[in-house]
Each structure stands twice: as C-alpha cells, then as structure tokens.
Amino acid sequence: MSESQIIRTEYSEVMKKSYIDYAMSVIVARALPDVRDGLKPVQRRTLYDMHELGIRYDKPYRKCARIVGDTMGKYHPHGDSSIYDALVVMAQDFKKGMILVDGHGNFGSIEGDGAAAMRYTEARLTKLTQEVYLGDLDKNVIDFMPNFDETEKEPVVLPVRIPNLLVNGAEGIAVGMATSIPTHNLCEVIDAVKAYMKNDAISTKQLMRYLKGPDFPTGGIVVNKDDLLGIYESGQGKIKIRGTVEVEELKGGKKQLVVTEIPYTMIGSGIGKFLNDVCNLVETKKTSDIVDISNQSSKDGIRIVIELRRGADVENLKNLLYKKTRLEDTFGVNMLAVANGKPETLGLKSIIEHHVDFQFELATRKYQTLLTKEQDKKEIQEGLIKACDVIDLIIEILRGSKNVKDAKACLTNGVTEGIHFKSNISKKMAAMLCFTERQATAILEMRLYRLIGLEIEALQKEHEVTLKNIAHYEDILNNYESMSDVIMEELDQYKKEFGRKRQTLIENAEEAVFVEQKIEEREVVFLMDRFGYSKTVDVATYERNKEAADAEHKYVVHCMNTGKICLFTDMGKMHQVKMMDLPFGKFRDKGTPIDNVSNFSSSEEQIIYICDAEQTRFAMFLFATKQGMIKRVEGSEFQVAKKTIAATKLQEEDEVIAVTIVNDVQNIVLQTKGGYFLRFPASEVPEKKKGAVGVRGIRLAKDDELENLYLFEEGTESKVAYMEKEVTLNRLKSGKRDTKGVKNRG
C-alpha cells in the first residue's frame, strides 16, 4: 500500500478556489445561455431529448412526465421541477418571441396561473424547432460530449440557424451576475444578420435600421427610443415600456379606459398588483375620476376596463396610471451570455457576429459532410458505369472464381490466379482491371436488373447530378460569397415561413406628468374611538356634535386636512398618518381602522398618545416608561418623512406608559402601582435625543412599576383618583427627581 500524502495549504485559498469553481459551474452549465444557440443547458437538453424520442411537430403529443423523466435520466441530473419549468416557459407564447414547444393542456396563463402537473400535460416540438433548431444533426455539424454518467452522448450546442438569443431573449441569475435579454422580432433579426453578412464593418446604428428594438410578445410601447442605441452598443441599460391604453366612448357622454396590452414586466402577479394599485389610487383620493375597474381578459387577449365618471380628464388619468402603477415599467437589459466558454456582456453587433461565425462553421461542416457523401457516391457510380461496359468479362470472372475473395482481388488488382477463364484474351483483359475497393464491393452487390438499358441510363443521369452537386458543394466550401448566399437564402425561407408582424411599438414619448388637483386647505377634527376606527369631520360638524363626539371617541385632535397626525405607542414607536388617507364625511360614519392606513398594529402595540404632526414642530415632549425612566425630547426630532420611526429607546422588558407635551413651568407627578407619588419640577428632567433611554425619574421598590404621569401648573388645583379616593396633586410635598417619593395609603 502506498503511504497517504498530506498536503498543507491555506484554508482560505482552498475555499476561494472551490467557490470560483462552483460559481463558474453555475454560470456556464446552468444559468446563462450560450451565444451560439441562445439556450441554457436545461433547454438544450430538453429539446434534444424530445428530438431523440421522435416527438416531432407532425407526430402525436407525448406526456410531459415522460419527457422530463427521460431528460433527467439521460442528460440533466437536477430536479424534475427545473426541467418542467423550462419546458413550460418554452411553450408559453406570452413569454417567448417564438415558442419552441407545442404544449397541449394547461401551460399556465399570462395572469400568473401555474401550469398543470406534468402528469396531465402533453407536448411536442414545433415545426420551427424541428427544422431551424434541430435540423442537420445527422450531418456532423456539431460536436457531442459524454453525458453526466458517460452512458449517452449529448450535443455541446444545437445547430440553431437563427439568432435565438435575440429572438427569444433570456433571463437567468447566476453567481454574482445575471442576464436579462429582451425578445425581438424574427424578421427584423434576420434582416440585421443579412446586413452584417453583406458588410461586416456595419455599425450598431446602421444595424438598428433593420432591428428597431425589442419586440415583446405582450406588445406594449417602448417609450425611450433614443436610449436604445446606447443600450444595444453597450449591452446594458433600461428600456421603458408602457401598456397600450384605448379610450372607449359610452352612452351618456361617459368614457372608459381599456388596457389592451400590458408591459412585458407585468406578466404574472403584476396584473393583480395593477388592479390593486388602481383601487388604492381611489381609496387614497389620488383620483376621484375612476368609478370601477374590472379584468375582462380572456384567451382572446388582455382587456382591463377602467370606468370613468362623466367629465373625467382622460389624459391626466392615463398619466396618473403611468406614474403610480406598473402600467409604465422598466425592463433592465444586461445582455450577458457564454461566449467562447466564458461569460461576456455583448452588444447587438457582437451577438450577430458570434451568430454569423457559428453559421459559417455549421455550413462548412454540413457541406463538407455532404461533399464527402457525394464523392463516395461518385466513386461507386463511376465503377458501376465502367462495369456495365465490361459486364460480360465481369460475369466470366464471377463464374470462374472459387470464392468472393478471388473475384474481388481480380476486380481491384487484376489478380487472375485461381480463376477459370474461357480464353486467354479474357484473362489478359481481367489482368488489366483496377476497380477501387468500394467499386468492387458495389459491383459484387449489384443486382441483375441494373443491366436493363433504362437503368443504365438512369445511372448515368444520377452520375451527372452527383457531379453537379460536387461542383456546387466545392463552390460553397471554397467561396465565401457562395456560402453567404446559401445561408441568407435559408434565412429568407425561415422569415417567409415563420415571420410575423411586430407587436411592440417603439417611439419617443413625453414623460408622464400627472397634475394633482389642488386640495383646499382647511381645519378638520380627527376622531378615533376605542376600537381604533378613525375619520375626519369638519369643524362645524364637530361643534354641533361636540358632547357626543367627546363622549364616544377616545382621541379628538384638531388639525389641517393636508397634514398628518403622530401616534405614539407603548413599544416606543411613532407612526404617522396622512389626513388625506382617512375618510372625511359625516359624524355618524363608521370610519376606517387606523391599522389600515398606517404601520400601527393593534395586535402588537397600544396607542398612548396622539397629536397633530405640525404641533410637534415647536413642542417639547415628555416620555415616561414602566421602569421609571423619563426624558424630554424636542418635537423637531419627530419632523420626519417616514411613516414609522423609533420614538425612544427602551430597556429590556420596558414599555412607554406616557407621552405628553410639557413646558418648564409645569410640575410632574409620578405615580407607581404600589401607591408612591413623587412631585418635582419639569425643569429637572434633562433634554435627550429620541434615541436615548433617558434618566431615572423615581426609585422603584422591588416588584413596583410606574403607572401614571400627571402634569399641573403652580396655583392650579389638580385632583386625580387613586384607590377610589381623590388625591390633590398640588398639595403633595415637592421632592427631587430620582427619589422614592411619598407613599399614599389610599
């Protein structure tokens, strides 16, 4: 036995190398498409497996479970869900520019519904895939490599004849990088390829005369046409896309907006989110022009109907939808693909250049294979024609030979020993024969009917065709122009058979500008009951119902309708609520739960103080906690834009028991659960930042905690109830902060 060898190395170096190897494996062998065929490995393997199973476009559908299982067992040893997901996407016409798989059954919907389980669905290849992606596999045009367990061979790349990377785009997340390539129109892509083949010095700008920009299967409008050149030159950028909105006239002078095409990025759950966003615009009073919204989409296409009130400003409302919903969205472009075995960000011209190089490589290998076959055919044909001229001699050799070996030796090398001839002349003629090995084999296998005059004539015509094919193939292989013509001719055929009209409009549109209706500023009264239902009413309504309003509501705050209110909670948070988010109306209206319009959660925290946000600007706030900590904080610290902030810092298991506005002339009385009262001037409480814990206000006995905080001014009588008795605060003996206080016996 050989001794084991211990290699000492730096751990970080091993980790670094292992991670880089893993990352490159994910990048090259899983997540990114190859620039040549525009396919990820899982897509390539699935299509090749369907080809091997014979599931052609003109054959019956086969269960997807069979395809997935076969692909996983032979070529792709990863989860079945990854293979089925790839298969489903290749069959979805709302995701791909040209579908590669013809799906039968439920393959999901544009609204985000998932496909049925693979045991229910069926699939087969489309004609495009069979002819353009998998054609010529039998002509040695690509290399094959062993599969994962070296029991099968799989193609390194498929012989795709169109730039699939552009036609169908790509999306993938690797390690430290991601690809996002939009779909394009097949006809435009083919025109751009032909333009490059005619002039390889062509610029990206000139190429874009043919390829205008992305063509999404969902249609829509690209609105930043001028940015496209920079995107296609660098391979990176942002494309702005909008849905198509039509205005329909209704009876009675009313109108409705109909969304007939959505942005490509809205596919799936984005449609549901759009409907919710439009509802939110109405609920938050961003617009009062929308009466109703309904999704009437079907298999015939997208149709989202937004009913408007009479006299609505249609253009302004369209701009609102573009600004506040995903009806206008951004598609981030990052044209990253595997080129020459490594990931590379490619511009439009680079992608076409790689594609054309690949096509010349395919054509060279294809016509080299065809030429070899024709040359082999020519050799045999010439032998048979020559044999027909000396057929009597050949028959004599065959009849005089003892075995096939002697006959073959005579035909190829003129060896006459061991063969019986009728005459010496025949023997001399036989010694002059020099057929090739292939020709001799063909002669020996030739059937007698080939000696019929018409058959000999057909053989000669076939030989002429073979000679023409050889000349044609040699011309293609030896002449760049000829090969270019053949490739372009094939592209024209694909364009004619599979091309379709552009679906996405490309233009330079003005940025959507929504003019908000100016709201008349006025004072309102915020009302919230003990269940958290909130609303606002005008001051006059409140004054008329003041007694009932004060009795029925826990919080009553005067503020402006354009302002906000601040909610301070026992968890030390401050939530802000815009008055415009609350319903404004009649005194007897129920209102809306405060949870619905703020980040406040009634199940996790309690409101202990509410005030007008404007009031905080110049106020001083006093905080007190259960553990007896107090502090003063300037109100300006709560002048923030965020909906929720930490209003104070709390120690472990502590909570806020009081927040109130305070001034220096007031006195503070702290009351504990155990009945201790401590009175001291408010000026003794130091000013702190909102992020501070504060200072100790009262020394608490064991198991005691602060229960209440009271404020009063000198010269005013202030009474509170404690243990069913009244306590007059201004008669309490004045003490100092951070002392124990006086015990009240109740």
Q: Which residues are catalytic?
A: 120
Whole-angstrom Cα distance, residue 274 to residue 260?
14
Using left for φ > 0, alpha for ψ between -120 and 50, and beta otherwise, residue 628 falls in: left
Distance CA 244, CA 689 (A): 52
Three-state secondary structure along 478-524?
A: HCHHHHHHHHHHHHHHHHHHHCCCCCCEECECCCCCCCCCCCCCCEE
Read off the tokens for 513: 């500008």
Place of tokens 């061979």: 153
Walk across the sheet containing 523-528 and list its strands. Answer: 555-560, 523-528, 533-538, 592-593
Tell me the torsion sign for CA atoms 397, 403, 404, 405. Answer: negative
**Residue 36 C-beta-side C-alpha neighbours within 13 Å:** 18
Structure tokens at 345: 């960000």
Q: Which among 133, 132, 131, 190 is positioned nearest to 158, based on CA atoms?
A: 133
Dihedral of alpha carbons 433, 435, 437, 438, sign: negative
Enumerate residues 6+ apart whose C-beta is below 8 A from 193.
162, 163, 352, 355, 356, 491
Q: 236 pairs with which residues across the strands?
A: 334
Classify residue 18 by burial, with Cβ atoms within 10 Å: 0-12, 13-18, 19+: exposed
Query: Which residue in this structure is represented by tokens 């054309």?
Result: 356
Distance CA(652)–CA(644), nearest Å, equals 21
Could you give the CA distance from residue 85 to residue 80 in angstroms, rounded to a whole number? 9
Q: Return d(Cα 656, Cα 648) in angstroms, integer.
A: 9
Amino acid at 515: V
Query: How far from 184 is each of 129, 211, 481, 501, CA to CA, in Å?
Result: 17, 8, 27, 11
Rg of the Cα atoms in the chain: 42
Distance CA 692, CA 280 (A): 37
154 vs 147: CA distance, rounded Å: 6
Report long-range pairs for 509-514 (Cβ below 8 Å, ≥24 apart): 509/221, 509/223, 509/224, 509/242, 512/318, 512/319, 512/322, 512/323, 512/328, 513/319, 513/323, 514/316, 514/319, 514/320, 514/322, 514/323, 514/324
**Six-digit token string for 122:** 């069926």
Dihedral sign from CA coordinates of 181, 182, 183, 189: negative
- Asked whether 238 and 227 are in contact (CB, 8 A), the reply is yes
**Residues for the chain: how many in total?**
746
Position 632: which residue type?
Answer: R
Give strand ranges (E) for 212-360: 221-222, 236-242, 244-249, 255-261, 290-295, 304-308, 328-334, 336-339, 342-345
